[in-house]
Structure 1
Amino acid sequence: MSTKAGSVIKKKSKKQDVKDLAEKIKRNALLKQKQQQKQVEQDEEDEEDDHDKIEETTKETVINPDDELKFKTFHELKLVPELLESIQQMKFTKPTPIQSEAIPYALEGKDIIGLAVTGSGKTAAFAIPILQALWSAQIPYYGLVLAPTRELAYQIKETFDALGSSMGLRSVCIVGGMDMMDQARDLMRKPHIIVATPGRIMDHLEHTKGFSLKNLQYLVMDEADRLLDMDFGPALDKILKIIPSKRTTYLFSATMTNKIEKLQRASLHNPVRVAVSSKYQTADNLIQSMMLVSDGYKNTFLIHLLNEFMGKSIIIFTRTVAHAHRTALLARILGFSAVPLHGQLTQAQRLGSLNKFKSGVANILVATDVASRGLDIPSVDVVINYDIPTDSKAYIHRVGRTARAGRSGKSISLVTQYDLEMYLRIESVLGKRLPKDPSPSKEVLQALHFHVDKATAEAIRQTKDFHEKNKRKGSRGRDDKDREER
């Protein structure tokens, strides 16, 4: 055989080898793809089975608020006298629907999923059973309550303190923005109840020497939908791995989403699901309206409304931190008693603003959506949407700050030409068109506009100073969801 012929055979042989190798890689790739597809199908099947098992094992009760209550007074429950005394002092005359349905199951030791909106009395629905059980146990680190925001955490602690006032309760609030060493000292005093934001309690579990939750008996995840929306998922996963699996768990949420379903699977055992029937709807005694605003005149329209509702308790909602701060300053410059509430204030400033508003020292609160849910602000006459929210649910929560506990209330939305699409979406969710309030006359607007424009320029200058000061301090700005990372 010639050298040339041998070379050709070798080349053909190499080509065949390459072709065979390519075919082998292709076959392996197809096999791997089939295996992956099979695994995906199996996972989906397993998830459906899990879901079916949950549906089989989860007892669900949907409560119509008009239905007869399971118990009509707290005296009908076998609560310890000290707890009953505190309930009387707090003037809890009769239970709310969520309390009436959830508390009896909780007293039996069941895990609870409570689906109810803000203002439905869910804090007492989980605090009362925990305190009842704590009376006989009297051990530290007995209960952990996780909340999405600092304000809600402080509020939950206040409810626990008030209900446990006659039984020597020790509680602590562990949230971001406060000194870690001070918090570590508080934890070393061995409180019975810890109310915390997930990021900060995880910090202490990892770094505070001598602190452990190995004896934890109760875990509460309040506003669980918000906990997951605010990216607390990884911190929750870590906490669930560290704490005892043998415990009682309460999960409270405004809605039941897929994420909540997964959290339920990971953390609850044969729970009872209690849902207060309430679709996306607003209270019957709430008067809602909108006002079409001319371009460049939004602040003038707002000040006109503040004059109209002089002396009433008002919350103004904005979409951004900058708008909240600037609008509060604008109102103050023009002689109104207004305070801001947003994520770039220190914790002390935020609590100060809330307390001033709740006590009536200031009658106007200008806030981002941090104030739309969870906070207990008992009496609000008017809600003004300075900025239209991008999410229809956020609108429901905002206007739900007024017309509570049977009282009437009013909400007004300032709608510019750029907001119409979002506003029509909100009307679609509500299932009705909202009436249009008449705009103030041109004469009134012109008389106001010069003064408002001048005050707005000063408010913008002061807002810039505020942001510069924050940057110098090295503080991190938060987005409008007011994410509580720690």
Structure 2
Amino acid sequence: MDTPPFAELGLPDDLLASVEALGYERPSPIQAMSIPVALEGKDIIGLSETGSGKTAAFGIPLLAKIDLKRHETQAIILCPTRELANQVCEEIHRLGAKLDRLSAVPVYGGAPIDRQLRALRKGAHVVVGTPGRVLDHLKRGSLNPSTIRTVVLDEADRMLDMGFRDEMETLLADMPQDRQTLFFSATMNRQVTHFIERFGNSPETIQVKQKAMTVSSIDQSCYEVRQRSKVEVVSRILDIEPARLSIIFCNTKRSVDECTEALLARGYAVDRLHGDITQQMRERVLRRFRDGIVEVLVATDVAGRGLDVDDIDLVINYDLPQDPEDYVHRIGRTGRAGRSGRAVSFAFGRDLHRMETIERYTRQPVKRERVPSQEQVEGKVADRLFEQLKERLAKGDFKSHEAQLDRLLEQGYTPTDVVSVLFTALGEEGGREFSKIQEDHEEPGQRRQRREHEPRDRGGRGDRAPRERGPRRDHDTPHDNTGMVPLFLSVGKQQGVKVGEVIGMLYNESGVPQGSIGHVRLFPRNCRIEVKAEVADQIIESVRGTTLRGKRFILDHDRGPKGRD
């Protein structure tokens, strides 16, 4: 789609200057279709996938309507998770960098509320937050709904799936009737449709044609790799085809930690993200990753959700995900905004059958490739070194060292001797020690013939022990029942509460690490929830004043079976 330049969309001069300073020349399709309609004041239903530029599609017209002289909240953006709220708020700041004294604040559970209160008292122009915490501010009186001119629901389908319907309904019902509402969603299911029919004002639907389930520009391949060989193979892939930014996905926090430590020891610029990383550290890691200081990010699926970085060249599935949909989400981190990308997966033994399931789900083949050999890696490194030297010779960088070269020649060394030693020294400086792995001596076909008859390595997902029974929890580390205490929640089945809503609400409001919340047992009028003892009080305190399905509740330590339904 050939879109007009931003200069032709009728933006205010200072906002246009901000957009152009970011290097944006032409809007993406969703931006080109949404911005003019939103500038007219119409409601919008924007249907577009992640990575299409939807934040700017609603952020630019929203900023165009902000009256900077009025120090009051004029726009609210609701997001399903605190990670996405943070990223959207950062993008609003970037888009409005040249708007004088623009104030935008993220509000969500697990962050100091006093800082949020100060920002709201000063009159933040834009509030970006999760439904529960925004509603909390509304009920506290720290957020005045009467001044709101624009409401954005970002990823409306996810918020409804996560059980935020009642909070969203309460919020929108309290907003001025003449507000503008922008609904953005990846899917248009029945509950999204009903919600928009109730709260939209004849919205105009803007839909960008969806790409294939996995972007066609992503080169997908699979290596048969044992658990004990994974770090070496990751190292070879990073050496043979350097990427500006790479993400390595693991299934457990332990696997993330082990992979990160091993790569750090080998000299790679790497950091980690998983459920035990604090919000402050997460933001620091992501900032360093976006800036290219950290080149390789190792993460679990839970930590990787809402990750919005466009320049990722390589995704490695260190552990193959259990769910084919998670595979799609993972590899979708690369090949975004028209860029090409590469996705590599490790599989062995029974994991190869899961790889076939993924191929059927995505309807795309994944190439089976042989693990790069030590000789291939060394050859690629030597080729890059050769090209670097050629570039420097072409620039004349050698002239400042002619005196040293003359001294060596005077001492009887030939030019060939000098060059050979320099190549060896440079190669050693940028190289690393290789580990011998069994995959070096096998063809992929041989491994497939033998895999059912040989013992599997311990510790790998592809070489895994029998799977634990029990409720699935966000693909992160399986929960350990040790060190748990019971909490009592005063709502239950009769209020229509579901286990997923309870868990999602507690994680979003408290910000506790994944794995902190265990088994949830629903009764007719209450729930019993197992949580890690060390975070129990934090969870109880964080949800004070919060609602679930629009109802206030009591959460406290469970004192025993008395009164249990």
- TM over 0.5: same fold? yes
Counting only pairs closer than 5 Å after superposition, residues 243-392 of structure 1 correspond to structure 2 as 243-294=175-226, 297-309=229-241, 312-370=244-302, 372=304, 374-392=306-324
Paired amino acid for 1:188: R
Counterpart among 91, 94, 100 of residue 26 in structure 2 = 94
User: SS of the residue aligned with 1:134?
Assistant: coil
Counterpart among 502, 511, 514 of residue 478 in structure 1 = 514
CA-CA distance at 1:259 after TM superposition? 2.9
2:150 paired with 1:114: no
Counterpart among 91, 94, 114 of residue 181 in structure 1 = 114
Q: Quickly say closer, same or farther: Cα 1:321–1:274, change in 2 above 3 A.
A: farther
After superposition, the C-alpha distances for 1:363-384 in whole angstroms (9 at most, x for unaligned) are 1101123565543323222100
CA distance in 1 between partners of 2:221 and 2:55 (Å): 32
1:372·1:394 contact (CA, 8 Å) conserved in 2?
A: no
Computing the radius of gyration from Cα coordinates, the structure with the larger value is 1
2:109 paired with 1:202: no
Q: Which moved more, 1:115-124 or 1:437-446?
A: 437-446
Paired amino acid for 1:220: V
Q: Quickly say closer, same or farther: Cα 1:400–1:229, change in 2 above 3 A.
A: same
Counterpart among 169, 172, 175 of residue 237 in structure 1 = 169
The CA RMSD over aligned residues, in Å, is 3.5
Per the alignment, residue 400 of structure 1 pairs with 332
User: SS of the residue aligned with 2:127?
Assistant: strand
CA-CA distance at 1:475 after TM superposition? 7.7
User: SS of the residue aligned with 2:184?
Assistant: strand
CA-CA distance at 1:421 after TM superposition? 4.3
Q: Quickly say closer, same or farther: Cα 1:322–1:265, change in 2 above 3 A.
A: farther
User: SS of the residue aligned with 2:151?
Assistant: strand
Q: Which moved more, 1:346-355 or 1:335-344?
A: 335-344
User: SS of the residue aligned with 1:444?
Assistant: coil
Per the alignment, residue 125 of structure 1 pairs with 57
After superposition, the C-alpha distances for 1:240-270 in whole angstroms (9 at most, x for unaligned) are 3333343211111222223322332232121
Per the alignment, residue 157 of structure 1 pairs with 89
Per the alignment, residue 171 of structure 1 pairs with 104
Counting only pairs closer than 5 Å after superposition, residues 27-42 of structure 1 correspond to structure 2 as none
CA distance in 2 between partners of 1:480 and 1:115 (Å): 35
Per the alignment, residue 29 of structure 1 pairs with none
1:379·1:402 contact (CA, 8 Å) conserved in 2?
A: yes
After superposition, the C-alpha distances for 1:435-470 in whole angstroms (9 at most, x for unaligned) are 10113569831599xxxx9xx9xxxxxxx9xx9xx9
Q: Quickly say closer, same or farther: Cα 1:281–1:480, change in 2 above 3 A.
A: farther
1:119·1:374 contact (CA, 8 Å) conserved in 2?
A: no
1:320·1:480 contact (CA, 8 Å) conserved in 2?
A: no
CA-CA distance at 1:277 after TM superposition? 0.7
CA distance in 2 between partners of 1:190 and 1:336 (Å): 44
Q: Quickly say closer, same or farther: Cα 1:295–1:313, change in 2 above 3 A.
A: closer
Q: Percent identity?
A: 36
2:109·2:511 contact (CA, 8 Å) conserved in 1?
A: no
TM-score, with structure 1 as normaliser: 0.73
CA distance in 2 between partners of 1:377 and 1:165 (Å): 19
CA distance in 2 between partners of 1:311 and 1:81 (Å): 37
CA-CA distance at 1:325 after TM superposition? 3.4
Per the alignment, residue 424 of structure 1 pairs with 356
CA distance in 2 between partners of 1:437 and 1:328 (Å): 24
